[in-house]
Amino acid sequence: MAINAVCIFMGNLIGSLIFLQQQTHDGVVHVTGQIRNLSEGEHGFHIHKSGDLRNGCMNANSHYNPFNKTHGASEDEEKHVGDLGNMFVESNGVAVLDAKFEHVTLHGHYSVIGRSVVNEMQSYIIKELDKNTKTKAIEGK
Ligand SMILES: [Zn+2]
């Protein structure tokens, strides 16, 4: 069964990331979307352990790392589940993401749904998309 999720950025950062996983646990997660109002340059892009947003990113804890690995780049074999590498922000403050990750899942015990993406000291929760309506709209794009 396909699971889709979304991470919506509100406040200083604006935009959304869509997480799509078409197959079961082994399916690649495809992340697409756009974030605006970022500072120019390379930004680390990570999923943090907690979705607790009550105190900015302070309660989000460290990178999601259920297998007790060492932090790494997205192309490294040894990395946290939450390590998605860097995204590049243009001078207009916009980052466009379109990447596939084999080490991330939306299924089961190690799902990243309910965890958070942190950027520029703000954290944003990853939520499962409504199965009936929004999912179809995105697939039909
Ligand atoms: Zn990490």
Nearest Cα neighbor of 16 from 28, 2, 4, 3 is: 4
| Number of domains into which the chain is organized | 1
- Whether 9 is covered by a domain: the verdict is yes
Domain that holds residue 113: 2-128
CA of 94 to the centre of ligand 1 (A): 23
CA of 2 to the centre of ligand 1 (A): 26
Query: Quick one: DSSP state of residue 110?
Result: G
What is the residue-level pLDDT of the chain in tens, covering all 141 positions?
Answer: 788 899 998 878 888 888 887 666 667 899 999 999 999 999 888 999 887 666 655 566 789 999 999 999 888 999 999 999 999 999 999 999 999 998 999 888 999 999 998 877 777 888 998 765 554 444 443
Q: Could you tell me the CATH number of the domain that includes residue 121?
A: 2.60.40.200
CA of 79 to the centre of ligand 1 (A): 6
CA of 118 to the centre of ligand 1 (A): 12
- Whether 47 is covered by a domain: the verdict is yes
| pTM, 2 dp | 0.82
Q: Are 35 and 122 in contact (CB under 8 A)?
A: no
Please list the residues that pair with 83 across neighbouring strands.
Answer: 46
Q: Are 31 and 138 in contact (CB under 8 A)?
A: no
For residue 119, count CB atoms less than 10 angstroms from its CB and return exposed for 0-12, middle for 13-18, buried for 19 or more: buried
